[in-house]
Amino acid sequence: MLYALVHTIHIYSVFIYGGFLFVDILFLSKMQQTLSEEEHTKAREAIMMHVRKVVPYALMVAVVSGLYLFSQVFGEIGKEGMSSFQIALSIKAFLGLWLGFRGINQKLFGINPWLFKSHLFPFSLVVIIILLSQLIYL
């Protein structure tokens, strides 16, 4: 029961975080094509003011719930080494932790990323994580 609850919370928080990245990459970044620079800045800030209240915390919830889920399904490493499931799960965990580390640094400590300042790279990692989560059980 606890696993199902945490899994549901994890999925919702990932949808919130990944959904924002999706909207930012595909729509918000395109606003500057139809708005003046001043209008674009005002519109983006009006949206981001609300995003900053929700999305970073959704990312933190996704990371914490993902760590719990990881601990529940990883299993023991066999004598022949990690299974393909464990390898894929480890890659997902690493990418998720990197996103979480980046998000926590930004939100809690005000440290902006040194590399990959746009949301394209985090969005790419989210897509890879989602693809891995779908392929992991094959």
Confidence of residue 28 (pLDDT cuts 50, 70, 90): confident
Confidence of residue 131 (pLDDT cuts 50, 70, 90): very high
Confidence of residue 29 (pLDDT cuts 50, 70, 90): confident
Beta bridge partners of 78: 81
**Domain that includes residue 85, residue range:** 2-135
User: Which of 8-17, 75-84, 129-138 is predicted most confidently?
Assistant: 8-17
Size of the chain in residues: 138
Question: Rounded distance, CA 95 to CA 129, Å?
Answer: 7
CB atoms within 10 A of CB 48: 14
Who's near 27: CB < 8 A, 6+ residues apart?
A: none
Give the 3-state secondary structure of residue 91: helix
Question: Rounded distance, CA 23 to CA 6, Å?
Answer: 25
Question: Rounded distance, CA 1 to CA 124, Å?
Answer: 32
Taking 80 as the threshold, does the pLDDT of residue 12 lie above it? Answer: yes
Residue-level pLDDT at 112:
75
Note the pLDDT tens digit of each residue in 68-127.
999 999 989 989 999 989 999 999 999 999 999 988 888 888 787 666 667 888 999 999
Please tell me the total count of domains within the chain.
Answer: 1
Q: What is the pLDDT averaged over residues 131-135?
A: 91
DSSP letter for each residue of 12-62 = HHHHHHHHHHHHHHHTGGGGGGTS-HHHHHHHHHHHHHHHHHHHHHHHHHH
Residue-level pLDDT at 96:
94
Confidence of residue 11 (pLDDT cuts 50, 70, 90): very high
Taking 80 as the threshold, does the pLDDT of residue 32 lie above it? Answer: yes
Chain centroid to Cα 56, Å, comes to: 9
Note the pLDDT tens digit of each residue in 53-73.
999 999 999 999 999 999 999
